[in-house]
């Protein structure tokens, strides 16, 4: 299997030495579940030409500090690329910004939420759970790092997870049992230490102290990173067999 990572953001230069870049985080997430996969990255954020959708068996869209509404030269081409993938039945998994731009590309809406920052470990309730995700799970924990949210679902999307803070926390597109795409607002590729360092390095002047403190105190709570790594790979393999 050949998995392409569409890199839509950069790790802060002060953190990359310890934590790596986004493609390396995703490889660490996916490799235990796809040991023989050819995993490569495309630095979309640096405005490189997008490949043909068929150059991978499936694509993963990373998070980003940018918004889907930003006037950047690579945003609209990426939306078209995602539409082309869906039209050609090439599966996509979107994470955070990837979750939002997939919704925008396919007819929904993402925007800055009046609820403010989702930060730290959050708990999401699962609903409409496809059988390929398993039957013994009704919720999951995930690392949140976002202000934007999906506020309107595309016609082809089904919500599979939500919280009081984030109504559309995870989506599947098309037939939930054989989806064209899946996406999640939280970050299964992140670690507690990375979130802690982001709060100290990037957010100390832009997020009020009570929100930072609550986020830091949540970082010992359980998360379902490995489960999401398995679900993403299972989804990609399921699509490849279709």
User: Which residues are tagged catalytic?
Assistant: 96, 187, 189
Q: How far apart are CA 194 and CA 237, in angstroms?
A: 29
Strand partners, 126: 161
Query: C-alpha distances in angstroms, 195 versus 7, 176, 186, 188?
Result: 19, 31, 12, 12
Nearest Cα residue to 230 out of 144, 165, 150, 140: 140
Residue 164's closest CA among 195, 125, 217?
A: 125
Strand, coil or helix: 209: helix
Question: How far is residue 34's CA from residue 46's CA, in Å, rounded to a whole number?
Answer: 27
Q: How many CB atoms lie within 10 A of CB 167?
A: 16
């Amino acid at each position: 299997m050949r998995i392409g990572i569409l890199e839509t953001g950069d790790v802060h230069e002060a953190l990359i030495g310890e934590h790596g870049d986004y493609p390396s985080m995703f490889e660490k997430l996916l490799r235990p579940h796809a040991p023989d996969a050819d995993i490569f990255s495309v630095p979309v954020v640096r405005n490189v030409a997008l490949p043909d959708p068929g150059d991978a068996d499936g694509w993963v869209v990373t998070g980003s500090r940018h918004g889907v509404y930003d006037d950047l030269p690579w945003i609209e081409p990426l939306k078209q690329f995602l539409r082309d993938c869906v039209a050609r039945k090439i599966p996509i998994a979107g994470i955070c910004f990837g979750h939002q731009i997939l919704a925008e590309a396919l007819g929904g809406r993402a925007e800055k939420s009046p609820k403010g920052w989702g930060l730290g470990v959050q708990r999401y309730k699962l609903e409409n759970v496809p059988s390929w995700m398993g039957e013994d799970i009704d919720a999951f924990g995930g690392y949140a790092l976002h202000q934007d949210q999906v506020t309107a679902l595309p016609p082809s999307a089904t919500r599979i997870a939500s919280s009081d803070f984030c109504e559309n926390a995870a989506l599947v597109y098309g037939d939930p049992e054989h989806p064209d795409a899946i996406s999640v607002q939280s970050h299964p590729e992140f670690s507690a230490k990375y979130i802690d360092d982001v709060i100290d390095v990037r957010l100390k002047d832009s997020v009020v102290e009570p929100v930072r403190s609550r986020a830091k105190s949540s970082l010992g709570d359980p998360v379902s990173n490995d489960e999401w790594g398995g679900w993403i790979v299972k989804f990609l393999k399921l699509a490849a067999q279709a």
